Structure 1
Amino acid sequence: IVLGSDDLDATVEAAVNGRFENTGQACNAAKRFIVIDRFYDEFVEKFTAVVLSRAEGLPPLSSEAAAQRLAAQVDRAVAGGAKLTSAGEREGAYFPPGVLTGVAPDFREELFGPVAMVYKAGSEEEAVALANHTPFGLGSYVFTTDDEQAARVADRLEAGMVFINVVGADGVELPFGGVKRSGFGRELGRYGIDEFVNKKLIRKG
């Protein structure tokens, strides 16, 4: 979610980096971008330019089946009214980077590949509602210059992890996991290690 930025170029770069981890096939890669309306047009213009520039040297997806699955998802989004801006055509397991805009709010699929979905929000309330309107809830990102807003939005997001003004900040010392169809329980960190140790209870009466 992009609610505020004092350096939109840096925010765009962070967004692209969040999307393209493992060519967009990572479970916690950023998949949907919800941008407040006053930044939307400029964000889409800059974001799309950087995404399309990633075409050169972009590796293929994990399999041809993965590329076919992504193509079918993109086709469904476009059939529902979305517009695709793409760097080329799919060839085998290779899928060109692209950006989907005008995606219908009820399109709730996750795209595993180098295609990003960008939504416009007219308010913080609308942005949070859009973010939570998904069956998944692993990772999320909030970009804003307002610390109080960051805390407020992070608290309301239905996700196991929320990163504020940063991407790629997970680590082995931090719990990793999601909610809803993104699972339950946590790996890594103190919460994760508890699942892999035997604890003995001794109780005296």
Structure 2
Amino acid sequence: MMIRPAAAIGVCMLLLAACGRDDRPAADASPPAPDMTASPAPAPSAPVAAPGAADTLTADGLGPARIGMSKADLIAAWGDDANPGAVGGAEPEACDIFHPARAPKGVSVMIQNGRLTRITLARDADVKTDRGFGLGDTALAIKQAYGGAVFSQPHKYQDAPAEDLFAWARGGSTAYVVDPSARGVRYEIGVAGKVGMIHAGDPSIQLVEGCS
């Protein structure tokens, strides 16, 4: 039987289509089911605050000594009382003041109810505050550096120009501060107009007779 040209062309097209067809099943594009037995990824750990500089006093502390830490932690960092026979607080269980054995020279701490509340620079301390001031610096220089962030109160025991200069980092005011979360620095200025002592910490920096 003779196949007409048109029919022949149709047959060829059918054969080509059959040859190009892929009868394999399509790949499953769905993502694989999660492995419910796998352990969850650990959550990132919270950053740990690094200790401050060993020679820089801030409202929050000095080196590893941080305001608010326990007495046990302070002793672990700086050692126990270097002069256990010296007079400290009137009631050591409630309030104690001492120089830790490994603390910088001229540095004393105040412990109230088992917590570090104040760090004091006195005598031969060569530590500076975070604004660069230490014992012997002038009240004028401090006032110029802090500007409106420092305020003055009369010194309790000495006549002017003796005064107390308060620079609160947070929670402070010109009135008596009682907020335990407040932190600041107090510069005690003597009659010569120079820094005689520096206190840093919580509202205890306002105390003038030990823990009272």
| TM-score by shorter chain over 0.5 | no
- Normalising by structure 2, we get a TM-score of 0.26
Return the structure number with greater strand share: 2
- Find the structure with the greater CA-based Rg: 2
Q: Which has the bigger relative contact order, CA under 8 A and spacing at least 6?
A: 1
